[in-house]
Amino acid sequence: MQKTRLTMLATLLGLMATAARAADVEVLDAYVRAVPPGAPATAAFMQLKDNGEDVDLVKAHSDIAESVELHTHIHDGGVMRMRPIKKLELKKGETTVLQPGGHHIMMIGLKQPLTVGEKVDIDLEFSDGSHQKISAPVRKIEMNMMGGGHMPSHE
């Protein structure tokens, strides 16, 4: 009986430690880019402030898209190109910015049109197995925010 209680207590403490770990990443100013009706994809942007130990953002999920990927931009022959990445490293005490022309969460195969002001639920998954659910508003982004009006390429 005593052993069972200790096992249950140890399990509970382990679960609490995992939950606390996710809370160590503060999500600031999250939003999803508004796109014209019928557009096949959009992106989510935010700031991730790591208030705990180093951890990686390894996946993101959202019901509004068939596929959700972590992406970055690279310069290739003078052209900005988007590329998927396996993880985004978050360093203790630092803020990592996901922004147009940089790191972002790509949502491909949109299942519904997006309306400015509506909220999009996104589940962020970290390398320690923890998750953080956020609700990001849809915002219109001006073209000059995309780096001088140049649209990035997926090639």
The residues pairing with 97 across neighbouring beta strands, listed in sequence order, are: 47
- Higher-pLDDT residue of 154 and 139 is 139
Helix, strand, coil content of the chain in percent (nearest 5): 15, 50, 35
Closest to 16 measured CA to CA, from 134, 126, 130, 132: 130
Domain CATH number, residue 103? 2.60.40.1890
Task: Please list, in sequence order, all residues whose beta carbon lies within 8 angstroms of the beta carbon of residue 132, skipping any fewer than 6 positions away.
Answer: 22, 23, 25, 27, 123, 124, 126
Asked whether the beta carbons of 55 and 126 are under 8 A apart, the reply is yes
Kindly state whether residue 155 falls inside one of the protein's structural domains: no
pLDDT on residue 6: 53
Mean predicted confidence (pLDDT) in 61-90: 92
For residue range 17-49, list pLDDT tens digits in order: 444 445 499 999 999 999 999 999 999 999 999
The one-letter amino acid code at 35 reads: V
Kindly state whether residue 148 falls inside one of the protein's structural domains: no
% the chain with pLDDT above 70: 77
pTM (predicted TM-score)? 0.77
Kindly state whether residue 150 falls inside one of the protein's structural domains: no
Number of compact structural domains in the chain: 1
